[in-house]
Structure 1
Amino acid sequence: MIKATFFPFNKIWPLQERAMPKMDDSKNRTGIDGNEAVADYEYHTLMRLLGVSVSKHLLDENYTLVWANDYYYRLIGWPKEEYEARFHNRPDLYYANHQKQWNELVETVTSTIKADRNGYNLVTTMPRKDGSHIWVNISNVFSDEYVNGYQVSYTVITNIDDQIRMQKEQSVTYDNLPGFVARFQVNEEGFRFLGANERFRDFFDSSEQEGLAFGLSNVNTEKNRRVYLQNFSRMRRGERVHFTLQATDKTGGNLWFQVNANCIDWINDNPVYLVIYIDITDITEQRELQRQLEERSVMLHDALQTAERANRSKSEFLSRMSHDIRTPMNAIIGMTAIAGTHIDDRDRVKDCLGKITLSSKLLLGLINEVLDMSRIESGNLAITEEEFCLNDMLQNLVTILQPSVMAKQHTFDIRAHHLRHENVIGDPQHIQQVFLNILSNAIKYTPAGGKIMFDIREKPSNTAGYGLYEFTFEDNGYGMKPEFIEKLFSPFERADDADVLAVQGTGLGMAISRNIVKLINGDIKVKSTYRKGSTFTVELPLKLQNESSVDYCLFMKNAILVVDDDRIACETTCERLDELGIRNEWVLSGEQAIQKIAEKHQSGKDFSMVIIDLKMPKMDGIETTRLIRKQIGSDIPILLASAYDWMEYESKALASGANGFLVKPMLKSALAYAIKKHAMKENEHASVVESSRQKRDYKGKKVLLVEDNELNREIAEVILAESGIRVETAKNGQEALERFMSSSEGYYGLIFMDLQMPVMGGLESTRKIRSLSRKDAQIVPIVAMTANAFREDVEAAKTAGMNEHLAKPLDIDRLHQILDRFISR
């Protein structure tokens, strides 16, 4: 049934209203009178000669037949009178025993009406009186004519039974060909699938409309793409082609086909190809296997060469390491022997011990670099997040590098630009390690008397809560050749220039640095000109601390004078003073400073404070201070600033009249503290330096030292005892546990525990101590003192219940920090 809600299905148009006029066969055709009769005759004659069915229907619920030409009745095999008597011109009754075809017709009409189209075209089968079916093409047009409220449609039915049967026979032929057969139209955009035989569709699991996903195949391989590229232009010209393609069946299995394609037609100037696929998988697989064997032979050859290069690199590395390790070891052994033969010569022994210490630190650095590289390559290098201050890190760098800088008489300056946030969150140890690697190289590979610059700049960040920091290291040293820059960050690589061959190193520092920077999501770049110098740029995103609002704005009546021969240093220091709300001026020499201060003094508007660079040409900071004091007295505070530790110059500086010292770069917090202390006379906070110089004394404190190695135990015992600590020892974890259990509560103020020991290790001993029921078992500080220095060792120690981790060889300053923290309460 046709269901269209906008049609009044309850009306049936009577056929008598529009019946076609009939001819009177008894009359002579030439004797027909009137134009209307002639027109009717010509119309019916045309309908008979067309050879197609033409009919007129109402769009009611029965699709009622209004009129049809004679060919309609010949097509269905029913005489007109018999059709009208049996089916009453109702196609629904005619199709009563053929519901499949009727439903198809109804669905087509309904969808056409819903889509608001004015007609449809349908290829279907039509039943005939003799019980057979024929294939027809129904073309229908909805007219603007209405009868009794029903729209009229005109239908043309064409007999296409012969064409369909021919196609079916052709399909049967396709299905019996040795292979898969398909038709494609080759357009400018590619291959348009037109149809295929059943074997093709079954193999590729493809419908008649879907075709293949990738051109003539269902896989997108490099080989297939090359084949298309080679043959597409030929196929666009209609040429015959044949080639090999890879495909997969519906189970995912790989096959190879010989494709033979011939142009059989053209549609809109685009060739139509009949393509036959012949399975040649067995042959192709043999060829592919041969190709793979050849490729693997080449791969094995390349792998062998790579392994040989790796072995050579390792051999060269071991050779270099042997040299680099033997050099400090030779110094340690040699200086020990010399000290032993001059045991009564205090100065000689002291000199030997200093050189032994220096060589030991070099040796430890070599070992640490090798271990770091090993951890990086195994993926075990972890990045931590902790709060730290950039100013503190810079001071550490100055302290560590000063001996090397002074030894080679370098000029070393640190400058900060637009540094708004000093307190950040990151991995200070690893960041400091990167900076030390770069600066140490700058010092080593710059001839004596060179210049090294370290600039820090805070740049705008696109990530909320993070600052983007750029650290630039520039020197005027030996520089690097372009070919070495390309392998600078590779492990074990060192320049082979004659100028630098004598410089000690493992070739690991820059490889380690780059890996650390990448782990922090940063970047490291280098520019270098051979024999002119190098510039390294490290960019790091660092999380900003959630700082409470600190008011650094300081009220001062008069300005502060900054004196430095480096214009940029003057400008950056004055930027910090501007941020603090303090007026300022600057000059570029001691002579200009003396003149400027004298002018201000004569006008009665003295500077509130003067900051003078320690090392300036012609007249240095100490001499400038002395002359200022000579001219205007001691009323104005004068601070000396330097990128070096000032301890070496302390006595001379204080004698010249200096009030204090500042370490470059002068960040906002350090400047604010110095101004409050010296210019505003706020001395309630004791100097950090002064407190660090106080002699440590832990008399009366008892420490349990757990160490199985006799020599290590002796070293630690002597160092601790020198601070007034009473030291008791245990040789393993079991002995330590027994000593602790037998002691009174609170007897030990601290336990130093080795990790790897016989009988019972330090981790197990710590866990057992923590599990005891006595009150001090949970609160006694236990510190790992061990050569197990990896991050996982630190975490394991803390998980077992230890409070801190102290790596061997012992860092004396770190040891005293731990003692200050735990037993000086």
Structure 2
Amino acid sequence: MEQQEIEFKMTQSGSELEEDYGLLMKSMQVSVSKHLLDDAFTMIWANEFYYQLIGYPQEEYEELFHNRPDIYYQYHHYEEELIKISTAVVEAVNEGHSEYALITRMPVKGGAHRWVRMNGFFTQNVVKGCRISYTVITDVNDLVEMRLAQSITYNNIPGFVGKYLVKEHFHIKLLEANEQFASFLGLKDKSGSLDSIFQLNMEANREAIISQFSNIEKGEHIKFLAKMQNKEGNILWMQANGDCIDWVDGCPVYLVIYIDVTDVTELRQMQAKLETQAQQLRDALASAQKANSAKKDFLSRMSHEIRTPLNAIIGMTTIAAVHSSDTARVEDCLSKISYSSKHLLSIINDILDMSKIEEGKLTVDHKAFSLQQLMDSVTTIIYPQAAAKGVEFKETIQAVEEEEVIGDSMRVGQILINLLSNAVKFTPEGGAVTLKVRQTTDRKERMWLEFTVSDNGRGMSEEFLQHLYEPFEQEHERGINSGGTGLGMPITKNLVSLLEGTISVKSKVGKGTVFTVEIPFESVEKKRYLNYPSMDSLRVLVSDNDRDDCAYTSLLLKNLGIKAKEVFSGKDAVEEIRRTYKTKEEYDVCLIDWRMPDMDGIETTRQVRSIVGPDTLIIIITAYDYSSIEAEAWEAGANLFLAKPFFASSLYNSLLTATKPQRTSQDNSHFSTGNLLQGKKILLVEDNVLNLEIAVDLLEMAGAVVDCAQDGKEAVDYFVDKRGRECDVILMDIQMPVMDGYQAARIIRASDCANAQDIPIIAMTADAFQEDVAAALEAGMNAHIAKPFDTELLYNTLNKVLASGNTNVHV
């Protein structure tokens, strides 16, 4: 029989042997490859399992890596493993060994790796001048990862961990211990059953262990108190808990975890401390996450707040440039730019003044301001937003008797802009947003104004209204995301409270929202308007399809002693003009609204002008930017434009244009400088060319004689020269090259010049914090003006300093 088998094998063909070899390699799941011992360890041949292991088909591997393992490892960023393999090969060759072995990570397709055992064998065969080697690679990934996981688990358990094989007759073998346990016992390695200290501990706990043998034999849970001692004689009482995790030759393998209970009180205190620390860490993490979120929300909100007035500034600048020849239009644009600039500066001050932000302290101004200017400024900011979205925006005034009040115009403007911006945002195209202002009954010697912001937009649910003023709350129902930060309404509510006012809201989903804000103001002395005889006799026709606006305009005219008649359409206005023209009862003035449904204001003006000729004054009144219709309106015969909502003063001035055309032009000076600056010599120290030009013009407008220096050193050189004896005051920038303003002021004060101690020095800088004011005074300056400075404040400060001599002035 054996002879027959030998004969059969001898008759097998080479292809059959190769097939058997391939089947054998495939069933063994082992990679076999043949390599040159050159620098690249070039692969000559590999079996099918090699390509299965790395995940690359043979054709792709050869095309990408040209059978060079060095390129393959570098491509996958496993240079460390390549060095490890190369070192093992070189050391084996240099030491005369015929083989090498190591466990390493082998990169595979997709960016992962497999743990493999690599065995290499060197032959004496030579190809291309290099010896030949064979490499056998075995996949041991599961085994290595299991051991790594086990090691990590053992060494991260807070206590001692040991794995034991328990045999009969109290024969216990320590298979493995975690690092804490091995360190305590002083074991040379983590399996130290023969170590004397281990045996000492087993004997010390014999009774406790034997008491658990009935459970151990059945592989059940064990629990006992153990006394553990190390080589230094330190003793710990440990609560031991063990479970059977395996069986070897019918004997259980137990994993035992020890917990130190040497001092239960200490343990409990430690546990409480750990729990406290854990809670503190959780709180700190939550606080950090909330702070980070709040910072992002705050910056996003401030970006919106800053860009809103900035958009108005840019827009008004563009309009002013287009209408540079129209003095009245440019003045109107500059007025709106001024307000928006101050609004922007107010926002920036709140952002930068960290003491106010951190302590929640915001100050309130009590200054006289014009309601007309406030309304114009709000319109300047909101109207472009509404127009861009296709939303109608309208402002109306009702029963407001006082045009100038005392209060904080910036805060009121911020409240209105926040509410109106939200109204525009949540109102779809074709909708309408309205701002109504009316004066309510005076209370406690203060007048109250009621601001109502209404829209017919998406509205809010009853549930959300309960959280409307909470920070970061937004309603995301019905698939709509506002894109905001949820800070606008809390800021608005706080500002209203700061001004001692009230805010209320009514809203229905799909119907719109109405906010009502009431704010108290102090009254100022009412202005009296001159009753010119020619104005007393004026007859005025008011044409406006909005009956409330029409009634309000008629009331203002009546208060001025002017007779007025109301009509509510362009067609009725033309018929009334035609009728009165025939009866010789002509109107002196026609106030015609631009937007009327049947016949707009331009067509009405054209037809009225064709009837009355050039004598009747026609004023187009509109709540919109009239730049787009201005040329057409002039051509139709309009004389003036009057923006709604208007107050008695603006209506009075417009009518005065018609009744007193011969009046002298108004003084262009907007600021009261007195006569203290006339002829005064001022040294202006400023390194920024544009700021220098602006300041020089403003000072020369007040009659001052200005010399300039561009840094602190030039200022000192100027002062110690004879020119310094004639100088009346120094305006000193702080942040300058060569020498800053503080240093320059100190040198001037320390000089032996006759007027070194007497000359007033005013800091003029963008550093506007209280610390900067103190630093300026400490350097010997008399006052501090923050940039960008208010022109009237600049004049007043100069006047005060010059009038008070060399004493500090509180600005």
TM-score (norm 2): 0.49
TM-score normalised by L of structure 1: 0.49
Greater Rg over alpha carbons, structure: 1
